Chain A
């Protein structure tokens, strides 16, 4: 399978704990995106990497959130001191460069903060 892979699929954590999610993009894609989606809503942009460089971060991304993409391959999204409002589906997508190129999504990580 050469699609976008996310791990874990589901995560339940207690409020205040730290969590880390991983995304493995399609291998030849240099662009990687993180989105957050709550029930019944469209995905909201969080951050974007081109190769290993983090080029854009949404204002939604508080100081508790950090993302990395070492070596321009897989990416991690860490949430520190989780809050109940962080409960959502976290989606990763990748695409190659250029206008009109298609973005492909992983299956997402469903985070529940209790």
Chain B
């Protein structure tokens, strides 16, 4: 079974600060997706990265897929209170079947 470890598990910062969330595995994934989830709702897709070393930017969010396709990071610049939520990474297996999720990083951005 492929496992994904996310760190940190909890993060509480002030508005305007920068932060990075990490997603690591000993396994290779064909793709990696980042989701954001609010309480009582389903995860909402932020980005998919497929190529090793790939970097994608979404406004203040920067996503990177490791060269070996085993790890990824999410960097948020100048965090806002609206960024508060559970951030989940999910790895796609080479067979194209299941997505394996990390345990999530609960981010709280304080005003």
Contacts and interface: CB of A to CB of B under 8 A. Distances in A.
Contacts, number: 70
Interface in A48-106: 48, 55-56, 89, 91, 93, 97-106
A107 interface: yes
A98 B97 contact: no
Nearest to B10: A40
A87 to B, nearest CB: 14
A2 interface: no
Contacts of B82: none
B50 interface: yes
Contacts of A93: 42, 99
B101 interface: yes
A42 B31 contact: no
A104 B31 contact: no
A91 B86 CA distance: 15
A89 B43 CA distance: 11
B22 to A, nearest CB: 14
Interface in B41-65: 41-45, 48, 50
A48 B100 CA distance: 12
Interface residues of B, number: 28
Contact of A99 (B30, B45, B86): B30
Nearest to A9: B40
A35 B48 CA distance: 19
A100 B98 contact: no
Contacts of A108: 40-42
Most A CB within 10 A of own CB, among B42, B92, B103, B106: B42
Nearest to B101: A42
The 9 closest A-B pairs by CB, nearest first: A105-B42, A42-B101, A100-B50, A100-B31, A42-B103, A42-B104, A99-B30, A107-B42, A108-B42
Interface of A: 4, 6, 31, 33, 35, 40-45, 48, 55-56, 89, 91, 93, 97-108, 110
